[in-house]
Amino acid sequence: MTSAAPIRRGSGLPIHLTVNGVPHDLEVEPRRMLVDVLRDDLDLTGTKVGCDTSQCGACTVHLDGRAVKACTVLAVQADGGEVATIEGVAAGRPWGPGLEPGLHPMQAAFVEHHGLQCGFCTPGMVMSALDLVERSPEPSDPEIRCAIHGNLCRCTGYQSIVESIRAGAAAMRTEAAR
């Protein structure tokens, strides 16, 4: 296991986060949002800032196994928690038949089924989709639409995103059966 990054000294509170399996000791101002710490302090810019009001879902990450909008979670609230970002989704993924090199099956499904266009919403959509599939491995289209209700896409019209999530869930079931 790697050692934690050194604490950054300043005028904040010490927190410990494990992000994508890597422990981090940080010092943050009490009112800093998790999305800012991820992007600015840890350079994990796959998590997007869209609205800063939890309306668009571009900042969706997993905190202790559940999807949250990182623009509404104070970094100090995540102290001691495990955070997964889009950068961690494909980490260590095998290359193999039916998988894009290094991509998680859900990410590959978004590529294959045209669930992305400009790509800005895609990290948040994928993180919301993975949260859904964790709870419901064979989600129906209404379940998928409900799960992405808090994620805004201005390009695709959502049907291709729903198809991508359905295909990604099927690919994940196939992979799990291997």
pTM, rounded to two decimals: 0.88
The dotted CATH code for 13-88 is: 3.10.20.30
Which residues of the chain form CATH 1.10.150.120?
93-177
Tens digits of per-residue pLDDT, 68-106?
999 999 999 999 999 999 999 987 655 555 555 678 999
Please indicate whether residue 156 or residue 25 has the higher confidence score (pLDDT).
Answer: 25
The answer on pLDDT for 110 being more than 80 is yes
pLDDT at 1 over 50: no
Nearest one of 63, 77, 54 to 149, comparing CA atoms: 54
Residue 146 CB neighbour total at 10 angstroms: 12
Strand 66-69 and strand 60-63: pairing? antiparallel
Q: Which of 28, 20, 22, 27 is nearest to 3 (CA)?
A: 22
Angle of helix 122-135 versus helix 105-112 axis, rounded to 10: 120
- In the chain, CATH 3.10.20.30 sits at 13-88
pLDDT digits (tens, 9 = 90+) for 26-41: 999 999 999 999 999 9
Amino acid at site 142: P
Please compute Rg for the chain using Cα positions: 16
- Answer whether 168's CB lies under 8 Å from 105's CB: yes
Q: Average pLDDT of 133-152?
A: 96
Placement of tokens 């904040």 in the chain: 12
Task: Encode 72-100: b = buried (16+ Cβ within 10 Å), e = exposed.
Answer: ebbbbebeebebbbbbbbbeebeeeeebb
- Distance separating alpha carbons of residues 40 and 57, to the nearest angstrom: 19
CA geometry: angle at 160 spanning 155 and 166, to 5°? 140
Average pLDDT for residues 110-119, to the nearest whole number?
Answer: 92
Query: Residue 178 has what pLDDT?
Result: 84
| Class of domain 93-177 as given by CATH | mainly alpha
